[in-house]
Amino acid sequence: MGVIARLASGADVPVFPVVAAGGRLAAEALRLLPGVRVEDTPRAATVLVVVGRLTRALLHPALVVHDQLPQPRATVWMPIGVDEAGDPEGLLSAFPSVTTVGAGDTAGLRTVFADLVSGVRASDSPALPDMEPAHWRGVGPYGHGGAGMTGGVPFGRPLPARAPDPDGLELDQLPLQLGPLHPGLPPGLVLHVGLQGDVVRHAEVGANPYQSWPGDPAPGPLDTATFVDALRLPTPVADLELARARHHLRWVAQALRLHGLEALGLRVAALGGSLSPTDRCTVQAVTRRLAGSRSLAWATAGVGVTDGGLLDGIETRLETGPVRRAAGDTGDARSDDPAYQGLGFEPVVHQGADAWARLRQRLAEATQAMDLAERAGMRVRDPGPALEGPRGTIRLDAAMPSTALCELLPALLAGSEWGDAVTTVASLDLDVEEAALARSGSAPASGGRIAGTPTGSGHQNGGRPGAGAR
């Protein structure tokens, strides 16, 4: 092995994660692994890491991203939960080669990487044929199918069409699908946007890639599994509140990354990952520091304002949650929860209804949760029909909060710059997988997976990314 190869095999492993069903927590934890570098673009990565159970709708985007990795490249699968039927449909066989590595197994990841760089392991061949999605020759005077020089879909790529901008000018508007693997959006979120330069003119939420089809295994485990399970099982209040603090710190870490403060985010993520009741003062210190940050205030104040009845104008009801409380609403299911009586619980509320208020709201709730966990002692919450989760009220028989949060997006994003749109989406803390689960109308069961029919392998479009119920 030459000097360059030896140097290269010692590099941090550049990975691009594909967050599949149940993989969100493990995918976020990748960033904390020493010697692993999570990249913003597949072009900069060497190892594609599929975390969790791949769904049919995620397969095609994952294969496209796979082929975008430069050579040498490898694919690694991190299944979540050992005894689960991780890939009942055999979707992973569409990849040229997949090595299974346990979640968080840095050594396994390193071995794959070192073998690849030193040439012991062959680089993955493309998974999809390299061809135009459609032919150039369409209709119209220039063959692109549009009118004049704009419009049309040459090679299956829609060209911009003219549309008025806020100043009354007619400007090009580019129709674009972003997600489900865009690093600036929550995993799985698909946005169909019309972009005029950097400005989002309109945005619609696309098909949910975690949506289960008949015969599919149940989604999950969700990142809010502790709370969902507490609907059915007696749970110590201290456990719930610690899980809440952990959830909010996780969210803060992701938000900081998108605000260009990745290193600071890692510190918060590490705190959240190993959170114990004795970390109360540390959480308080983090809260004080971030809530006092002028540059964060500057980046988030006035962004994604949920005023003017926006929160009540959506189809699914958003009962409570940090997004509502950051808009001055005192609603909180814990106020009526017998398990919280006598703990001195008062809902925390912020004014402003913008991304800055939501950031401070979650920081304050994390601190409050640490206090409540300490005061709750051994108190146990009995199963009940409703419970305050970290995103809002969770009920056995109603949609999860993320469903409502997704419905907010079109109205919130229209007219904002793309950077502000990313800030807005992040500030809602929505989880696409949780939203997929809500549509079935019933609360999830933790177990009870049904194996689906295995689809044929090969390089065909097993995905159908445009399909799905919506």
CB of 146 to another protein, least distance (A): 17
Q: Based on CB atoms, which residue is closest to another protein, 347 or 415?
A: 415
DSSP state of 123: P
Distance CA 355, CA 352 (A): 9
Minimum CB–partner distance for residue 329 and another protein (Å): 26
Q: Which is nearer to another protein, 12 or 307 (CB)?
A: 12
Which residues are CB-neighbours of 52 under 8 A, at least 6 positions away? 19, 20, 21, 22, 23, 24, 26, 27, 78, 79, 80
Residue closer to another protein (CB basis): 10 or 466: 10
For 442, residues 6+ apart whose C-beta sits below 8 A from its C-beta are 396, 397
Residue at token pair 């390299």: 130
Smallest distance, another protein to C-beta of residue 355, A: 10
Gap between the Cα atoms of 54 and 19, Å rounded: 8
Taking residue 8's Cβ as centre, other Cβ atoms within 10 Å add up to: 17
Q: What's at 251, amino acid-wise? A: W
Which residue number, 11 or 380, has a Cβ lying nearer to another protein?
11
Q: Least CB distance from residue 297 to another protein, whole Å?
A: 9
Tell me how far apart the alpha carbons of residues 58 and 63 are, in angstroms, rounded to a whole number.
9
Given the complex with another protein, which of 444 and 465 has the nearer CB atom? 465
- Of 45 and 436, nearer to another protein (C-beta) is 45
User: Which residue, 346, 386, 10, 418, is CA-closest to 191?
Assistant: 418
What are the residues binding another protein (CB under 8 A)? 4-5, 7-8, 10-12, 14, 39-41, 43-44, 46, 68, 70-72, 117, 132, 155, 157, 174, 176, 182-184, 195, 197-198, 256-264, 266-267, 270, 293, 295-296, 298-300, 303, 417-420, 422
- Taking the complex as a whole, how short is the minimal distance between the CB of residue 183 and another protein, in angstroms? 5
Q: Write the Ramachandran bin of 153: left for phi over 0, alpha for psi from -120 to 50, otherwise beta.
A: beta
CA 183 to chain centre: 9
CB of 324 to another protein, least distance (A): 24
In whole angstroms, the minimum distance from the beta carbon of 70 to another protein comes to 4
Nearer to another protein, 60 or 257 (CB): 257
Please choose, from the candidates 464, 57, 37, 60, the residue with its C-alpha nearest in 3D space to the C-alpha of residue 49. Answer: 37
Buried b (16+ CB within 10 A) or exposed e, 30-45: bbbbeebebbeebeeb
Amino acid at 462: G
